[in-house]
Amino acid sequence: MDSFESERAPLPRNMIENSMFEEEPDVVDLAKESPSYPIDSDDVVYEPRSSRLLVRGLGENDLDEDEEDYESSARLLGMSFMNRSSNQRSASSSYTRQQPSGSCSMPSAKTTVVGVLILVVVVSIFMVIYFVPGCTFTRNGCPKTNSTMNNVYPKSTSGELFPWNELRLPSSVHPVRYEISLQPDLKNMIFQGSVSIKVEVLHETKIIVLHSSDLNITKATFEGKVVPVLEYKPWLQIAIKFPEDLKKGTYSLNIHYTANFSNSYDGFYNSSYVDTNGTKRVLAATQFEPLAARKAFPCFDEPAFKSTFLIKITREPNYISLSNMPKVKTTDLKNGLQEDEFKESDTMSTYLVAFIVAEFISYSRNVSNTTVSVYAIPDKKEQVHYALDTAAKLLKFYNTFFEIDYPLRKLDLVAIPDFLAGAMENWGLITFRETTLLVGNNSSPIDKQLVTSVIAHELAHQWFGNLVTMRWWNDLWLNEGFATYMQYMSISNVFPHLDINTEFLNVRFKALAKDALNSSHPVSTVVSTPEQVEEMFDSVSYEKGASILLMLNATLRDGEFRKGVIEYLQKYNRSNTESEDLWNSLSQVSKQNVNVSEMMHTWTVRKGFPLVTVKRNGTQVTLSQEHFLLNAENSTDNSSLWHIPLTYVNESCSVLSSCKQVFHLKDKTAILKLPAKVKWLKFNFRSEGFYIVHYDVEGWKDLIEALQNVTVLPCEDRAALINNIFALSRLGKVSFRQVLNLMNYIKNETETAPLTEALFQLGQIYRLLDKRSELNLASRMKSYIDDHFGSLMESQSWELESSVSKMTLRSALLEMACSLNRLNCTTQAKRLFDQWVDSNKTFQIPSDLMTTVFKVGAQTEDGWDVLLSTYKHSICDAEKRKTLEALASTQDVRKIIWILQKSLDGSEIQTQEFPLVIHTICKNFAGYLYAWDFVKENWGKITQKFSIGSFAIQNIIISATSQFSTKTHLMETQNFFSSLGAKGSQMRIVQEATETIKQNMRWMEKNLDTLQHWL
Ligand SMILES: [Zn+2]
């Protein structure tokens, strides 16, 4: 089985800008009761085909055939497989080589050799004549533009040839300064703009090529003279051709244009909300990363084309406008409008430019030389204070930590009512979802942990990303991995009570799960198409990036990591970098015998991570490494070796950091000599390294025995043992019996990290069994959970709680308990829900229990109606999301369909929540097939709202498919995605989805019997 991808995170919780919102610590779905609503057939407007076929008990598993049969029938169906493995290919070619015996006589070996030689010579001569251009043998070789490929130019919109044929812009012309003037019209949802770009010609050229998307260009002048503009829409480029070479020097290019506001969540888009008086309010905001600045103004939209920006915005007097820099003046215009002009910016990348026109209020505070302000809609003015306080503290921390002060005079944090990403680090104007910035009066420390995390992440970007920027999107991890790492590091320093280390541990487990699939990719990966750029915003860039930085920091001596980072930031201040630049800076400060560059190279250019196997014989320990790959038959590379800074402890000293010993494993195998005999060894201290450890039978046995005394290892190590043994069971290295042997200690466990990890792992298995209609096994799994966690579930309080760690634990336990229909849990939850309803929603449900309580409440008709009204009227976004999760967890099919439709069209449920809706519905048996069919049938609409490859799309696909574990569903999934063509068939996430289903199938086939026996 492997749905750990699926449940752990459709996209991970800490992927701050992206998707932390799609995940809550639910462990299993709600108990299935028969729908309490009689379904009127007239009301059911949507009935998925697959749901009609695949209902519980129909025995879909009977359809399973073996892999080979499946492949052949798929071939017959003409399906194209995204995930073809090399050995599948070789198998099919060996098939075609087979000749029917005796169909023709075989030529002699000699004739064959002579014939082949003649053929080779003829073909070679032909190829030389045909392909080698005339200039090959000249001294200068071929000028690049003469090569065969480069001579093929596309046609521009006007029919004339477009003078450029690459996705990346030519490097001969650089922008130096933009002056942008915008006149947004919020009534008619259009805007007019003009941009004056000062460009520098570095090499003589006859063309200027830049980006533009969905802009209607009305006039362009170059050095004051009108010039025609050619457009090639598929690549979002425009070009100006000149009859003569432009000499080196600076020139001025002016472009006037009009455009509609974007109706997706990127570019310059409009957003609306209804205030507490019932009035609809409209605003306009931007989201440019990665490729949408070109939707707001023509520009050189690549991160390495850094430039300065001077921005002017026209608005009505009752609105305010904001941009990256402080406002320098406001001018009254004749038409009653006003124009704000902002100070010219520092040199920066286009994706960091931002502007907003809205009716917001703000609170401010000075930190050093910077004015920090938090903006929100007036109805939520009481919810900004926590963010302001937190941002001020974190800004001070980073100013000190990096030894470079935040360079701008102002820092705005703005909560946007309709915003798809979690947050965006625009320099000086960070935009957030309301959930990630605003904290209500009743918000718990867990809600605050989320807000703190997002602010810490975005502030870290002001240095990592904004001051020093990756050269190209292949090194996105330099931005995201670093910001993610810094977010945990800063919070554990500044807000130790938020228990962020447990969260970071979970994040590392998530990253391992994703990276164990063949569909994963190296941290630093070649990307060229827009879809590939979008796909980089994933767990590998964020979470694996952060994990390998933790491993490096834990390997270096105290202070060296920080010193190297400071040196890197100083050296590359306001410029662009690649991974190697960071490693070189860190290598220079490392006083140890560790070649940082050589070590980290193995972690950034190879996908996946190592499995370290430990075999002990007395004092001699044999260590070996191999690629931990769940679908090994698809492996394309078996020779990967990592430079692993292996850490270990033993019984003589095992809890403190000072106990940790290090062994650098660089080869396939190595011998570690211990100075004395030990009872047991535990590798990967506190799971700080990005690898999984397997022990021989004795090694596991010794550790299981050692766990009789729970405190013998730090809680991170206990959680990691649980995580690792489940992963090894998926890999087939240990039996499920061994897993259960280790799990026996859990009755003595009290700490959050190991308990939530165990619940998570068991919950995944339970859900897969449930979805396969293995009712008997699902019920035995339920008894197993009852037996091992029951007393802990019973002992949880339902009162207000202040410890984050305790809240995290009890919300996981009680959510599981109520979903398994434990009477005590559902009764208590119902009691709180009724109290809340009876008090006209003034009774305070502990915030960490709200989802559980609401989910129980949502199972009755009245409860659901109350929650829907709460969703519509609540001004607390965190509460709204919990309410929506409860609404989407209904067992009533009519309601499920209603939510799917309303969240996609955005009429009653915000479209930004569509991924969360899909994720929540797919956890439950009642709706997961409906959700899948809905996704398939509405794919066109969905990809209009969310870009192909984006985190939202990744999230939707994984949520909708990761619970499948049968061949029928595998075929259906592959069939659907292969039919999409340009609309998404090439996405990496599609490969991940099919791989996950195959993994689920394999695990189930292998372990169903074991489960019968051992549960
Ligand atoms: Zn980020």
Residue 893 C-alpha to ligand 1 middle, in angstroms?
37
Contacts for 266 with CB less than 8 Å, ≥ 6 apart: 287, 288, 292, 295, 420, 947
For residue 595, report the distance from its CA to the centre of ligand 1, in Å: 28
- For residue 33, pLDDT over 70 is answered with no
Per-residue pLDDT of 693-714, as tens digits, reads 999 999 999 999 999 999 999 9
How far apart, in whole angstroms, are the C-alpha atoms of residue 152 and residue 147?
9
What local confidence, expressed as pLDDT, does residue 986 receive? Answer: 83
Residue 33 marked ligand-binding: no
- Residue pLDDT, tens place only, 934-984: 999 999 999 988 988 888 999 999 999 999 999 999 999 999 999 988 777
* 446 has a pLDDT exceeding 60: yes
pLDDT band at 558 (very low <50, low <70, confident <90, very high): confident
Average pLDDT, the chain: 85
Task: Give per-residue pLDDT as tens, 183-205.
Answer: 999 999 999 999 999 999 999 99
Residue 140 pLDDT: 37
CA 209, CA 175: separation in Å to the nearest integer? 11
What distance in angstroms lies between residue 500's CA and the mean position of ligand 1's atoms? Answer: 17
CA contacts within 13 A on the Cβ side of 578: 10
pLDDT tens-digit series, residues 266-276: 999 998 888 98
Residue identified by tokens 């830049």 is 210
- The pLDDT confidence band at residue 444, using thresholds 50, 70 and 90, is confident
Pick the most confident of 75-89, 287-301, 947-961, 987-1001. Answer: 287-301
- What value does the mean pLDDT take over residues 685-699? 97
Q: Round to whole Å and give the CA distance between 816 and 851.
A: 12
Q: What is the pLDDT of residues 519-541, one digit of tens each?
A: 999 999 999 889 899 889 989 99
Written as one letter, the residue type at 297 is F
Is residue 58 predicted with pLDDT exceeding 80?
no
Residue 457 in marked binding region: yes
How high is the pLDDT of residue 828?
A: 96
Separation between Cα atoms, residue 821 and residue 763, nearest integer Å:
14
Rounded Cα distance between 70 and 792, Å, is 45
What is the Å distance from ligand 1's center to 484 Cα?
7
What is the CA(289)–ligand 1 centre distance, in A? Answer: 10
Looking at 128-142, 554-568, 688-702, which range is the least confident one? 128-142
Residue with tokens 């005590």: 824
pLDDT-based confidence at residue 907 (cuts at 50, 70, 90): confident
Which of 127-136, 500-509, 851-860 is least confident?
Answer: 127-136
- 160 flagged as catalytic: no
pLDDT at 637 (0 to 100): 59
Residue 495: per-residue pLDDT: 96
67 is in an annotated binding site: no
Other C-beta atoms lying within 10 Å of the C-beta of residue 333: 11
| Range with top average pLDDT, 32-36, 330-334, 943-947, 999-1003 | 330-334
Measure Cα distances from 45 to 38, 884, 887, 935 in Å.
15, 22, 19, 15
Catalytic residue among 5, 302, 458, 995: 458
CA of 352 to the centre of ligand 1 (A): 12
Task: Pick the range with the lowest mean pLDDT from 251-260, 347-356, 520-529, 683-692.
Answer: 520-529
**Bridge partners of 708?**
none
Q: Which residues contact 468 (CB under 8 A, 6 or more apart)?
A: 568, 569, 572, 573, 574, 575, 576, 577
pLDDT surpassing 80 at residue 17 = no
Q: What is the mean pLDDT of residues 659-663?
A: 94
pLDDT beyond 70 at 134: no
Residue 418 confidence class, pLDDT cut points 50, 70, 90: confident
Query: 148 CB contacts (<8 Å, ≥6 apart)?
Result: 131, 133
For residue 483, report the distance from its CA to the centre of ligand 1, in Å.
Answer: 6
- Average of pLDDT values for 319-341? 97
DSSP designation for 606 = S
- Stronger pLDDT, 876 or 834, i.e. the higher one: 834
The answer, yes or no, to whether residue 99 has pLDDT greater than 80, is: no
Nearest to 16 by CA among 375, 500, 592: 500
